[in-house]
Structure formats: C-alpha cells, structure tokens
Structure 1
Amino acid sequence: MITVNHVSKTYLQGETQIHALSDVSLQIDPGETVAIIGTSGSGKSTLMSLMAGLDSPESGSIHFNETNITQLSEKELSQFRAENIGIVFQQFHLMPHLTAMENVMLPMELTGKS
C-alpha cells in the first residue's frame, strides 16, 4: 500500500514560489490501478517524483506499507528505491548497448536479484 499524507511541495522559479502540491493525501491499495491525470503544471510529475522517493516534500509523509520513505536517509532511500520502485520516465534513457530485456533487468542485477 502507498499512502500519501498531507504532502506539500513548493519550488522557486526565479523569485516566484510555485506551489506544486498543497496538502495532498491519497492511498493506493495493493493491486489497485491508478491514473494521475491533470493539466500541464498541475503537479502530476511532482507527485510521482515524491512517491518514487526522487524528491522530498516540504511537509507530510509518504509510506510504502510500513516504511515512511520521508524519514529515510539518502543511503536508505537509494537502497529502498533499488529494491522496491520501478520507473518509466516520459523521456526515458536506455543503455544503447543493451537489449530491451537487459535494460529492464539491469536494476535487479545491480541489487543481486535474479
């Protein structure tokens, strides 16, 4: 289960504060399929980056099952991402010398999983 509790995130664009997310909460149960939709600039990518542990919220918490990823150190978070999270970016970058399957399997091989 993924639980997002009262998460907020602000960015600076020049001297202007951009409130990308403000007090967002949601729960995604195991096996549930969720689509995050919205207009450009509505915070979709920010929310996904926070849930993947690629960025940190200013307030609130994000839990994967019982693990509060917002409380993990950078080293712990890196290990957690390697073992638990898979991401396909809109602008993905594959290793050109690997096959598609080898690109998919690379994170598992790096963490010692088969």
Structure 2
Amino acid sequence: MSRAWNLVSRPKGSPTMESFALRETHDSPLNDGEIRVANSFFSVDPYMRPRMDEGDSYIAPFELNEPMTGAAVGRVVETRSDRFKVGDRVSHFLGWRDVATLKAEDALALPDG
C-alpha cells in the first residue's frame, strides 16, 4: 500500500490544499523489467500550474482524480530488472507519490552523494 497526491479539482488562481487529495493506492506485483522506487523527493515546478487547467496549452492537462506526475528522486526497493539493484538511487517522472512502480527504462540512475 502506498499513497499518492491526486488533483481533485481545477484551481481558480493559486492552487490550495482543496485542489488535492492524498489517496491510498495498491502496489501490484512487479512485471519483468519493472522497478519499485521509494521516493525521497518530488518536484513542484512552474509548468505544473497550467497543467491543472482544462483547455489548450503547450502540454496536456493533468487528469482529475489521478496522481500528479513530475520529477522525483528515490531509491529502488524492489526490482525485476537487470538495470537496477535494490538501493540504487534513481530519478523518474511519476512524481507525487511515496512509492512508484515503473519500467526500468523510464528511470535514470543517479550517483550516491
């Protein structure tokens, strides 16, 4: 079981806590080539605000009631990939969640330190 921040309403002006909900998610078993990452950090960037609105923009809007995406950094806690071992530090784009499950090819290895 993990948790993710979902966009639950389109903010008018600056986003407030009412625009988001922290929801529990179920972690499915890993498929071949996937890793599970315990996130330590996720980003909140200016480009995210226009994605909270509906309509035309240079990037697709966030879906309501879905986890927010964006850059994140964490450590591999489970793997079914030859590319990463448990304990490796990686970055990825699944953002606002405490645990992310993704294809190993969608993660970037980071140096320790």
- Asked whether the two chains share a fold, i.e. TM above 0.5, the reply is no
Which one has a bigger Cα radius of gyration? 1
Select the structure that is richer in helix.
1
Q: Which structure is richer in relative contact order (CA contacts within 8 A, separation 6 or more)? A: 2
TM-score with structure 2 setting the length: 0.27
Select the structure that is richer in strand.
2
